[in-house]
A = this chain, B = another copy of it.
Amino acid sequence: MDKITLHLDEARALSHQCLLANGCDDANAAATTDVMIAAEGDGCPSHGLFRLPGYVTALRSGRVDGRADPSIERIAGAVVRVDGRGGFAPLALVRGRQPLIEAARENGIAALSLAGIFHFAALWPETEAIAQEGLCALAVTASRSLVAPAGGTSALFGTNPMAFGWPRKDGPPMVFDQAVSVMAQGEVMIAAREGHELAPGVALDSEGRPTIDAKAAIEGVLLPFGGYKGSAIGIMIELLAAGLLGENFAFEASETTPNDGGPGRGGELMIAMDPARFGDAVGWLAHSEQFFERMLAQDGVRLPGDRRHANRARIMASGFSIPTALHENILHLTEAV
């Protein structure tokens, strides 16, 4: 496959222009671009510019408001509600971040209840941003139905990522961000595009039979990681991101959104905790480093996110590559509005 190398600044400008040309205002284009560029900068193409055509599809269909102006309200002592007003998630998250951090510092723990958003991005950039402020953060969102519950053969859960961030003493926070499916949908889409087989246990085909064919998996259903235990986590995420907030469950997002490659409407829950308010204000950071040291003393063990951090400096200096076809498509989407 032909590839083209882009520097992060070029990629940022490319995405920003494309979103502006398709109806985003500057604030939405910038926030949405930032999360794609963060993904490319960490070497995670499945949440990078690969998503841009899907964002454009959702704008052109008219279901997402590229000029949405999210509103913020403290609806309970420790709950910040952001109404995304039908826009993409990133600007709503940027607007909610400081109010969440303030509420967590005030109360020890606080929640951000995000509704009325179209979420199509990685969760780790927003989780890392909270952890960089010295707080522990947990985030969940439900997407469209793509994953069967344990024992079933039909899609019910979204790929439903859960991200968790913890501040480190020296260096960036430890952050993991993982789908409830064995494999993220974006990775399966890339495997299909590049003709790779899937590992066994990743997916069922449209007849409910196990498959290693990535295209058949896209027609069929993904499986949760870890069997019924991963499935239970899928249930929890649906209830937190939809039931708790009054937003779409994945099955509702699927039923109300055409299957056009763009995101459906949903919610996201973020919980932030201030370790300085939980009983070990002085010791928690150094104490946690002892755990990380112990873990990394084992051969073959890595911390979640290490590969992303290792990619950062390299990609910052040398850029990253995307398929030429994707680059051309983005240029086309920018010009042919």
- Chain A residues within 8 Å of B, Cβ to Cβ: 75-79, 81, 106-111, 113, 115, 136, 138, 148-154, 156, 164, 166, 174, 176, 178, 182, 225-230, 232-233, 235-236, 238-240, 242-246, 249, 251, 271, 273-275, 277-280, 283-284, 287-288, 290-291, 294-295, 298-304
Q: Cβ of B232 and Cβ of A229 under 8 Å apart?
A: no
CB-based contact B108/A75 at 8 Å: yes
- What are the residues of chain B within 8 A of A301 when measuring CB–CB? 149-152
The residues of B that contact A304 with a CB separation of less than 8 Å are 228, 232, 235
When the two chains form the complex, which single residue of B111, B291, B298 contacts A152, counting CB atoms closer than 8 Å? B298
Of B138, B149, B178, B246, which one neighbours A298 at CB under 8 angstroms?
A: B149
Q: Which residues of B contact A77 (CB under 8 A)?
A: 77-78, 106-108
Main secondary structure of the interface of A (DSSP, over half): mixed
**Shortest CB–CB separation between residue A91 and chain B, in angstroms?**
19
CB distance from A312 to the nearest CB of B (A): 20
A284 x B108 contact (CB < 8 A): no
- Copy tally for this chain in the complex stands at 2
Given known contacts A136-B244, A283-B246, A291-B251, A232 and B164 CB-to-CB distance under 8 angstroms: yes
5 nearest CB pairs, A to B: A246-B280, A226-B226, A76-B108, A79-B108, A77-B107
**Docked-complex contact B229 and A178, CB < 8 angstroms:** yes
Given contacts A113-B278, A226-B230, A301-B152, contact A136 B240 (CB under 8 A): yes
Contact of A156 among B81, B109, B149, B298 (CB under 8 A): B298
Chain B residues with CB below 8 A from A182, complex form: 226
Task: Please give the distance in Å from A12's CB to the nearest CB on chain B.
Answer: 29
